[in-house]
């Protein structure tokens, strides 16, 4: 009986001892399963990240390619625009040159037309005034010299040549003849200012002031006006009319500040000194 009881006690003890061990083994197995699951999830995440990196690399490569294509397209467009700008500038210069030539030809034609009109008028006058009795012997009018057409360029060159040689009287006559024959020419205002310059070189300052005033009054919106005001100021300065000279020069500096004449006028104003009170 005692042995039976001992065996029961021993078996009960083994059962009691085995229960915690079995429970611990189950927890260990569950923990290992959780760890394996986490490892698998980590591997999946790593695979996803790897795929994302590859996708990002592919996108970056495409962006780089697109950037290079855009940069090349912009460079090509800039080259085309620069080429068009250069071509436009060349065309504009050629058009300007053609306009100058056309203007010169127009002046030449006007000179020829005026000469023909003068010849026609002279022939009509000669025919009307001729003495019928003198027809056989020839009248004095029949021997009149024909009108010679002179182009505006030749008249300009001749007058400027006289001016350069110091033949100011001849130059003034040439400038005046040019203005009379070609009053609408682009150079008519310059011719009038050159008359003013010629008078200044001769020391005829009163006439120089009058010539400059004529230029200012007759050609108010041309590019020769700043020069006209400057030369007028110089002439008045030589006449000791300091206040009038300062007035002309100050108007020039205020109205045409970007002109070369305005720079020279400022230097002359500095020489005149401060305004008298």
DSSP string, 12-29: HHHHHHHHHHHHHHHHHH
Task: State yes or no: pLDDT of 273 exceeds 80.
Answer: no
pLDDT for 241 = 95
Between 33-47, 111-125, 197-211, 228-242, the lowest mean confidence (pLDDT) is in 111-125
How far is 255 from 221, CA to CA, in rounded Å?
12
Find the angle CA(22)-CA(27)-CA(30) to the nearest 5 degrees. Answer: 125
Task: State yes or no: pLDDT of 178 exceeds 70.
Answer: yes
pLDDT band at 272 (very low <50, low <70, confident <90, very high): confident
**Do residues 191 and 179 touch, judged by C-beta distance below 8 A?**
yes
How far is 4 from 22, CA to CA, in rounded Å?
27
Q: What is the mean pLDDT of the chain?
A: 81
Closest CA to 178 of 169, 189, 167: 189
pLDDT band at 117 (very low <50, low <70, confident <90, very high): low
pLDDT for 135 = 40
Task: State yes or no: pLDDT of 86 exceeds 80.
Answer: no
Q: What is the token pair recorded at 9?
A: 């006690």
pLDDT for 147 = 41
Task: State yes or no: pLDDT of 145 exceeds 50.
Answer: no
pLDDT for 19 = 62
pLDDT for 111 = 60
Between 18-32, 38-52, 115-129, 165-179, the lowest mean confidence (pLDDT) is in 115-129
pLDDT band at 80 (very low <50, low <70, confident <90, very high): confident
How far is 235 from 203, CA to CA, in rounded Å?
9
- Assign 3-state DSSP to the chain and report helix, strand, coil percentages, each to 5: 85, 0, 15
pLDDT for 204 = 96
Top-confidence residue, 161 or 121? 161
Positive or negative torsion for Cα 163, 169, 171, 175? positive
pLDDT band at 97 (very low <50, low <70, confident <90, very high): low
Task: State yes or no: pLDDT of 179 exceeds 80.
Answer: yes
How far is 219 from 78, CA to CA, in rounded Å?
44
pLDDT band at 139 (very low <50, low <70, confident <90, very high): very low
Torsion of CA 34, 38, 44, 47, to 10 degrees: -150
């Amino acid at each position: 009986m005692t042995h039976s009881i001992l065996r029961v006690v021993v078996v009960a003890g083994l059962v009691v001892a085995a229960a915690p061990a079995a429970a611990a083994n189950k927890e260990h197995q569950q923990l290992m399963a959780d760890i394996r699951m986490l490892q698998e999830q980590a591997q999946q995440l790593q695979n996803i990240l790897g795929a994302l990196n590859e996708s990002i690399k592919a996108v970056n490569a495409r962006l780089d390619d697109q950037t290079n294509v855009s940069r090349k397209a912009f460079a090509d467009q800039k080259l085309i625009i620069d080429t068009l700008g250069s071509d436009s500038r060349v065309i504009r210069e050629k058009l300007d040159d053609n306009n100058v030539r056309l203007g010169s030809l127009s002046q030449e034609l006007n000179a020829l037309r005026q000469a023909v009109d003068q010849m026609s008028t002279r022939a009509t006058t000669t025919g009307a005034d001729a003495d019928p009795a003198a027809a056989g012997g020839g009248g004095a009018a029949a021997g009149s010299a024909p009108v010679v057409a002179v182009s505006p360029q030749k008249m300009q060159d001749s007058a400027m040549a006289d001016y350069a040689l110091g033949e100011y009287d001849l130059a003034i006559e040439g400038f005046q003849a040019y203005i009379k024959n070609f009053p609408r020419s682009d150079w008519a205002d310059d011719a009038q200012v050159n008359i003013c310059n010629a008078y200044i070189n001769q020391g005829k300052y009163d006439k120089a002031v009058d010539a400059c005033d004529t230029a200012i009054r007759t050609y108010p919106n041309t590019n020769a006006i700043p020069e006209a005001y400057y030369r007028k100021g110089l002439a008045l300065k030589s006449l000791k009319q300091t206040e009038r000279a300062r007035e002309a020069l100050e108007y020039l500096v205020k109205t045409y500040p970007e002109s070369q004449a305005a720079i020279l006028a400022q230097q002359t104003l500095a020489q005149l000194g401060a305004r008298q009170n």
